Amino acid sequence: MTEKKDLIGYSEEMDKFINFAFDDLVDVANKNHDLFEELYYNRKNQCDEFYSLMEDSHVTSPNVLIVGGAGVGKTSFIHKLIIKCNADLHYCLMLDYRKVVPKTKDGLISFFIKEMEKYFDEIDHPINTLCDTKKMDANFQCVYSHLDCIEKSDVTKHLIIFLDDFDYAEDDWFELLKYFLPFSNNKKTSLVLSVREPLLNSIDEYDERFRGSYIKKATQITLAPISVENVISTRLAPILVGKESTNKLYGILSGLFSRESPLCKIAKEHGTLVDDLPRFEYPLTKKHNTFMQRITSGNIRETFAIAYESLKYILESKKYSEILLEDGLEKKRIGREGVMKILFDNDDTSYKIENIHKLKSKTGNSLFFNVLEAVKYLGVVDDRFYRVLSVLGHKKKKVDAAIEELSSKKFKFFVPSKIIPKKVNRSIEYNREYIALPKLEMYLEICTDWEEYISRCGSAGKSIEV
C-alpha cells in the first residue's frame, strides 16, 4: 500500500487537481469518453434497466421517463446511456434545452431539424424536402413526414430522442412537448424525457395526450441523490488511500483506479503530476457528508463546491483540531464553527451560507425564516398562509416578494409543485403550492440550533403557529 505523506499546507498542485477532478461531467463527456466513464459513479441498476428496454427497441419502441431533482445528475445519466448504447442498432439524438443557441423554442426545433438531417443520412434515406424559405413548422412537418414514409424494415438504426432540461423552457415547455408528441407514438422512434417533479406534475395534470404518451406509455426511471462520500471518493480516487476497513467502497476504488488512469493522464497534460501529490484517506465525516447532501438538496455541483472548500480547509494542517475514527478511517471533524468559517465568513467561498434574518418585521421576526416555516408546514399560499404570517407582522406584499426570492435560483429553498403553462388561462384564480426541499429543512435547523449561526446573524424571533 502506498504510504501517506504528511499534508503540510495546501499546494497549488493539489488545488488544481481537485478543481479538475470536480469538473462538470457533462463537459467531461463531450471531451473524453474514457474519463467520463472513470468519473461516473454507480446508477448501474438504472442503466441496466434502460439497456434492457432498448434490446428489442426496433420491435417495442419503448418510451422512457427519467425523474429526478435539480442537480442529481439527470443529464450526466443521459450521457452515460448514450455512450454505452449500441451504435450499430441505435441512433441517439440529444436535445438539451440549456445547450441550444439561442435558448428558445425555435432554437431547439431548428437544432432538431438539422440533427434529423444527419440521422436520415446515417440510415441512407436523405431528406430533400427541407427549404430555407419554408417556415420552421413546415420543415418540422417535412421531417416527420419523411420519417413516416420510410419502411420500418429500412430503418437500420432505431432512433432514440432524448429530451432534457425542458424544465428551463418555462412557458414554452407545453409547446415543445406538443411538437414531439407524434414521435412518442411512432414505432420507429423511442422518446426519453428527463424531468423534475414540478414538470412531471404539470404534464400529468394539464393534458390527457401528454399524460398518455409521456407518462402512462413510458417506463419511469427515478434518480435519487447519490451518496456524497461515494461520488466525491470516485472523483478523488487517484489521491485517496484506505486502510482495511468495513467500507467496501475503497476496495472497489483501488481496483478501479490507478495513477495511470485517464484522469491522471489528462491532469498531467494540464500540468498536474498526480504522482507528486500526497495520498490521504477520505477525510470528511459522515455528519459533514449528511450536511452537504441536505443543504444542497442533493445537487452534485453544489456538493462539489462545498467539498472543495472543506478539503482546502482541512488539508491546511493547522485548521483542524479533532480527528475521528469512522469505519477504520481517520476523519477530520470540521464542526459547525468550521462550517461557518468556510461558508459564511469567507467572502471568496464558492458556496455561501446566507444570512436569512436581514429582513424583519417591526416586532423583530425574521421574514424569510417565517416564510420558510409556512412553506414547510402549510405548503399552499392561501388566505391562511398570509394570515399566519400577518400575526408576526409580515405584510402580504413583502411575503410575496420573499416567496419569489426564496424560490429563485439564488436560494432554491422550495419549488412550485407544478409549472403552469400558457395554455392555462392565467386569469383563473388558483392557490400556489410549493414543495419544500431538504435545504429548507437544513436552514430551519441551522437558524434555531446552531449557536454559531445565531451569534453571527441574530435570532429568528418568533415561529409561526399553525
pLDDT score, position 1: 32
pLDDT score, position 425: 54
Residue 265 resides in a domain: no
193 neighbors 64 (Cβ within 8 angstroms): yes
> Within this chain, do residues 202 and 57 fall inside the same structural domain, yes or no?
yes
> Within this chain, do residues 248 and 313 fall inside the same structural domain, yes or no?
yes
> Within this chain, do residues 419 and 437 fall inside the same structural domain, yes or no?
yes
d(CA 23, CA 20): 5
Domain containing residue 54: CATH number? 3.40.50.300
> Within this chain, do residues 84 and 219 fall inside the same structural domain, yes or no?
yes
Residue 25 resides in a domain: no
Tens of pLDDT, residue by residue over 286-325, are 999 999 999 999 999 999 999 999 999 988 765 556 788 8
C-alpha cell at 423: 395554455
pLDDT score, position 4: 39
Residue 169 resides in a domain: yes
> Within this chain, do residues 393 and 340 fall inside the same structural domain, yes or no?
no
> Within this chain, do residues 177 and 239 fall inside the same structural domain, yes or no?
no
> Within this chain, do residues 277 and 335 fall inside the same structural domain, yes or no?
yes
CA 107 to chain centre: 23
Per-residue pLDDT of the chain (466 residues; tens, 9 = 90+): 333 344 445 688 888 888 888 888 777 767 777 777 777 777 889 999 999 999 999 899 999 999 999 989 999 999 999 988 989 999 999 999 999 999 999 999 999 999 999 999 999 999 998 887 778 999 999 999 999 999 999 999 999 999 999 998 877 898 999 999 999 999 999 999 999 999 999 899 888 999 999 999 999 999 998 889 988 988 888 888 754 444 455 454 454 455 567 777 777 776 777 777 888 888 999 999 999 999 999 999 999 999 999 999 988 765 556 788 887 778 889 999 999 999 999 999 989 999 999 999 999 999 999 999 999 999 999 999 999 999 999 999 999 999 999 999 889 999 999 887 766 655 555 689 999 999 999 999 999 999 999 999 999 999 999 8
Look up the domain containing 340 and give its range: 228-258+272-345
pLDDT score, position 113: 96
Residue 199 resides in a domain: yes
Tens of pLDDT, residue by residue over 179-200, are 999 999 999 999 999 999 999 9
> Within this chain, do residues 49 and 160 fall inside the same structural domain, yes or no?
yes
Residue 144 resides in a domain: yes
> Within this chain, do residues 250 and 147 fall inside the same structural domain, yes or no?
no
> Within this chain, do residues 206 and 67 fall inside the same structural domain, yes or no?
yes
CA atoms within 13 A on the CB side of 392: 27
Domain containing residue 436: CATH number? 1.10.10
pLDDT score, position 246: 43
Residue 18 resides in a domain: no
Q: State which amino acid sits at residue 326.
A: E
> Within this chain, do residues 188 and 202 fall inside the same structural domain, yes or no?
yes
pLDDT score, position 3: 39
Task: Tell the residue number behind the cell numbers 436520415, with chain if given.
Answer: 120
| C-alpha distances in Å from residue 8, one per residue of 254, 273, 316 | 25, 18, 7
d(CA 165, CA 24): 16
* Number of domains composing the chain: 3
> Within this chain, do residues 406 and 451 fall inside the same structural domain, yes or no?
yes
Residue 31 resides in a domain: no
The three-class DSSP label of residue 462 is coil
Backbone angles phi, psi at 296, to 5 degrees: -105, 0
Residue 118 resides in a domain: yes
Task: Write down the H helix ranges in 298-366.
Answer: 300-315, 335-340
Beta strand spans in 75-150 (E): 90-96
C-alpha cell at 229: 462520500
**What single DSSP character describes residue 326?**
E
pLDDT score, position 318: 58
d(CA 295, CA 289): 10
Beta strands 380-381; 432-436: pairing state? antiparallel
Tell me which of 345, 376, 410 is where a domain ends: 345
pLDDT score, position 316: 77
Task: Tell the residue number behind the cell numbers 402512462, with chain if given.
Answer: 216
Of 26, 27, 102, 70, whose CA–CA distance to 167 is shortest? 70
**What single DSSP character describes residue 368?**
H
C-alpha cell at 251: 476496495
